Amino acid sequence: MADPITIGITLAAVSAGVGAIGAIQSAQANRDAANHNRDIANRNALISRQQGEAQALQLKRDQMRRMGAARANVGASGVAAEGSALDVLEESAFNAEMDQMTLKYNTQLRMMGFGDQASQFSAEASNAMSAGYMKAGSALLTGASSIYGMTATSEEE
């Protein structure tokens, strides 16, 4: 039968190894999850851009329809496209352009938000591995310290 010191040293070494491996595997899982979240954020940014482009196109069509109807109403009423009637048409055109600009701006903000999320997830992935290596190193050092303590104690006896 092995002596208690040898058993203790073996258990401390195995414990340190298992702790180090567990820390690295946990870090890899956290890194993989963060990378997956980064990919989703990047995909969401792309989808946001595509949705914004589609909304802008639909808005432009609706605006052109409304402007055409307004011009037709002015023409059908027999009023000349000048003075107040012209002012109304110009104001409508200005408002349409402002709506387009607002839609594009809001789309850019959404895309930037998803881009920021992607960057944060990339940093999280990197930090997960760094933390995992630190925990693995700590587990190994703790195990080495325990082994050293056991061997020093056994030498004193």
In which band, very low, low, confident or very high, does the pLDDT at 11 lie, cut at 50, 70 and 90?
A: confident
Take residue 39 and report the two structure tokens written for it.
């990919």
Tell me what pLDDT residue 21 has.
93
Q: What is the dihedral of CA 120, 124, 125, 126, to 10 degrees?
A: 100
Q: What is the pLDDT of residues 20-77, one digit of tens each?
A: 999 999 999 999 999 999 999 999 999 999 999 999 999 999 999 998 888 888 778 8
- Cβ atoms of 5 and 154 within 8 Å: the answer is yes
Q: What is the DSSP letter of 92?
A: H
3 state SS for 34-63: HHHHHHHHHHHHHHHHHHHHHHHHHHHHHH
Domain spans, the chain: 4-156
Is 0.75 topped by the overall pTM? no
Q: Which amino acid is at 16?
A: A
Which of 33-46 are b and which e, b meaning 16 or more Cβ less than 10 Å from the residue's Cβ?
ebbebbeebbebbe
> In this structure, is the dihedral angle defined by the CA atoms of residues 72, 76, 77 and 81, taken in order, positive or negative?
positive
Q: Kindly state the percentage of the chain with pLDDT values over 70.
A: 96
